Amino acid sequence: MLTTALCAVLSAAGLAVAVQTAYRRRFLRATRIAALSLLPVGLAMAGLVTLGRRVGTAVADWAADLVFKPTVWMGFGVIVCSALLYGATRLISGRGGPDEATAGGEAASRAAVPAAGTGAGAGAPAITSGRGQGGRRRSGGDSGLSEFADVEEILKRRGI
């Protein structure tokens, strides 16, 4: 009740300033002041002032619990542990470790890549289009990266 009355007083004061500004023939500024002065009443009527107070109280209670309860700190420890485990799995899968779903297809294509440059003339770099015999691709599950395997092999041999 008191909050609504305070918001009404703020809006009335703002509207009085807007009327004075309009009296000085600054209509654009007066309209802006009137728009801003209507916000406190609108927020109070919509119940958002009370909601804001409840959210503020809840945040303050949580902050007090954060300082004084060790279970909250253990909760943050569990969250950090979870994030580290997830990050480790992403790091390992990014390095090329075989995943459960793609262990067969990618491992076979990786084993075939180093053998491509070990034939006769292995000292001279051989640039190919990345296609096998008859214009077919080497393996079906290589996700389009087998075309760059020969370039990658050349760069590895040169230490780049």
DSSP letter string, 15-71: HHHHHHHHHTT-HHHHHHHHHHHTHHHHHHHHTHHHHHHHHHHHHHHHHHHHHH-HH
Token couple for 133: 């015999």
Q: In this predicted structure, what is the pLDDT of residue 149? A: 84
Q: Are 49 and 43 in contact (CB under 8 A)?
A: yes
Residue ranges of the chain with per-residue pLDDT less than 70: 96-145
Q: Are 127 and 150 in contact (CB under 8 A)?
A: yes
Q: In this predicted structure, what is the pLDDT of residue 148? A: 82
Q: In this predicted structure, what is the pLDDT of residue 8? A: 93
Please state, in angstroms and rounded to a whole number, the distance separating the CA atoms of residues 154 and 113: 11
Q: Are 116 and 150 in contact (CB under 8 A)?
A: yes
**Residue 131, strand partner residues:** 137
Token couple for 3: 């909050």
pLDDT tens-digit readout, 34-48: 999 999 999 999 999
Domains of the chain, by residue range, sit at 1-46, 104-157
Q: In this predicted structure, what is the pLDDT of residue 77? A: 92
